[in-house]
Amino acid sequence: MSALLDSLVAEGLGVGQISDAMDELGLACNAGGGYRLLGGKGGTAFGRAFTLRQIVSEPGGETTIRHGEAALSLASPGDILVIDVGGNTEIVTWGEGHTLRAMINGLRGVVLHGATRDAEALEGWDMPVLCRGTAPVRSKGRLHTAAIGEVLDIAGVRIAPGDLIAINVDGLVAVSKEHEVQVLAKAREILAFEQARDKELSQRLIEPPVAP
């Protein structure tokens, strides 16, 4: 599958075509937007979902933060780390240090249903970080990890551990292992159609009008 994904990346497959493919196959449209993308090499990043959920700590409660450990050693190379903080953008769950850990571990990207800081620094790294927003307030003593490796529901997008995740500037899409082969095949057809269509339309745009 990695060879196929590499070829699809080279061809320019995006989140939109995968979402359209799921529509055409009669599957639930498991895609979402409203994110900000920081860093990356451009195009679409693909990886297996490694999921983690965090909640706000109660005063005097558990404050252990394990998302740094997840980025560095718990997730596997080629994964996309998905952290659900319930959409909280007041307290950050990510930053430059976490991105460096994720890069050392060979992760493909990060999805935050929450916020990050160090946005300017993250823009300079090849690791794509898809986030809900940015803030300065650190998570230490404020967030703790409630679960690792569970199924998440992020604003209507269901993400199970091991799902194929694709992220780009448009947002994200999650495809179950059960359907990924047929979804990618259909998405490839859609991409080929769109590329041919856009090439033809672009040519018409630059060609001089025919004299009457």
Task: State the Cα–Cα distance between residues 47 and 9, nearest whole angstrom.
Answer: 12
Task: Look up residue 154 and give its amino acid.
Answer: I
pTM of the shown model: 0.92
* CATH number 3.50.30.40 given to 29-178: yes
Q: Which residues pair with 115 in a beta bridge?
A: 92, 133
**Integer CA distances (angstroms), 149 to 32, 52, 88, 122, 163, in order:** 21, 6, 20, 25, 11
Domain boundaries, the chain: 29-178
pLDDT per position as a tens digit, 149-199: 999 999 999 999 999 999 999 999 999 999 999 999 999 999 999 999 999
Q: Return the bridge partners of 36, or none.
A: 131
81-78-26 Cα angle (round to 5): 75
The pair of three-digit structure tokens given for residue 49, joined into one six-digit string: 């979902």
Tokens of 35: 């994110």
167, two tokens: 């992220």
The closest of 129, 75, 74, 133 to 97, measured between CA atoms, is 129
The answer to whether 104 touches 54, Cβ cutoff 8 Å, is no
- Model pLDDT for residues 64-116, shown as the tens digit of each residue: 556 778 888 889 999 999 999 999 999 999 999 999 999 999 999 999 999 99
